[in-house]
Amino acid sequence: MQNKLIAAAALSLLVLAPNAARAEGKDGVAAVVNGEEITVEEMKQGYEDNAPIKEQVSFDVFYDKALDVYVNGKLLYLAAEEAGVLDMPEYKRNVQTAKEELARKFYLQKKVDEKVSDDDIEKLYDEYKSTFKSEKEIKAKHILVDSESKAKEVISKLKKGQKFDDLAKEYSLDKAVDLGYFTRNMMVPEFSDAAFAMKKGKYSTKPVKTQFGYHVILVEDIRDAKPLPLKQVKSQLKAMLSQDAIAQVFKELYDSSKITKYSLDGKVIKDPVIMPKSSK
């Protein structure tokens, strides 16, 4: 827990430019603060526990930039220890709360890992593919302006051979010019009606008015939608199965436990305990 918090704090100090790494320190020790060791191993663990950091920099760069953060953290901890903070009731309450929270988190994760396998995910993916209904989707770009006259001006320049992307940089209020692939129901009706009436490679010859302004649309591709590959939906499928698994864990706990609830005036509350719901 402490490693994770320190490593997270170090994120703001990291740069992407490579620096000389200190590899394994001195016999596995990264620093000694008032006789207390900070090991390379605990820094490695802090690095591994923080995916955002790991995605941005190598451990060598992390080590080079985060070592002082770990040293500062150790200095503060030792000072707090010396000042008797560890004996303060507020500290002990927070430690107990953190322990219980971590215990709940790791217990649920353990049970979910037991109940949700790759085979379960693949089975759910197969169900998704078998029930998938194909429909047309298009890939388009648009230039959004605030008046019909500006939209007509853009269309006039397109007719004269100017490039869509160049005009988008000059005119478009929406910097997300490339809309990617989308189906009809993903856009407002006026936009979809115009876009899906067009042919591949064509741009709209009349301004398309929506609640956002006036659009000039370029349709780059038209295709039949296909199921997304497993790697793109695996995390969502696992989340769905995990929700069901958590609901099952609570049901098992409730079925094997005796629970009595009391109101503030000491009366027994007869309402059933509200359990997490399944995604089904």
Handedness of CA 164, 165, 171, 176 (dihedral sign): positive
Mean pLDDT on 222-228: 91
Q: What is the extent of the structural domain holding 160?
A: 136-224
Q: Number of folded domains in the chain?
A: 3
71 and 142 inside one domain: no
Q: Residues near 128 by Cβ (< 8 Å), separated by ≥ 6? A: 227, 233, 237
182 and 151 inside one domain: yes
147 and 210 inside one domain: yes
Mean pLDDT on 104-127: 95
Supply 131's token pair. 């029930």
With bands split at pLDDT 50, 70 and 90, how would you rate the model's confidence at 3? low
74 and 11 inside one domain: yes
Could you give the CA distance from residue 177 to residue 145 in angstroms, rounded to a whole number? 12
Tell me which of 224, 241, 264 is where a domain ends: 224
- Cα separations (Å) of 42 from 10, 18, 34? 14, 22, 18
46 and 60 inside one domain: yes
121 and 259 inside one domain: yes
Question: Is 82 contained in some domain?
Answer: yes
With bands split at pLDDT 50, 70 and 90, how would you rate the model's confidence at 4? low
Question: Is 94 contained in some domain?
Answer: no
With bands split at pLDDT 50, 70 and 90, how would you rate the model's confidence at 247? very high
pTM, two decimals, is 0.59
Residue 146's CATH number = 3.10.50.40
Could you give the CA distance from residue 55 to residue 191 in angstroms, rounded to a whole number? 38
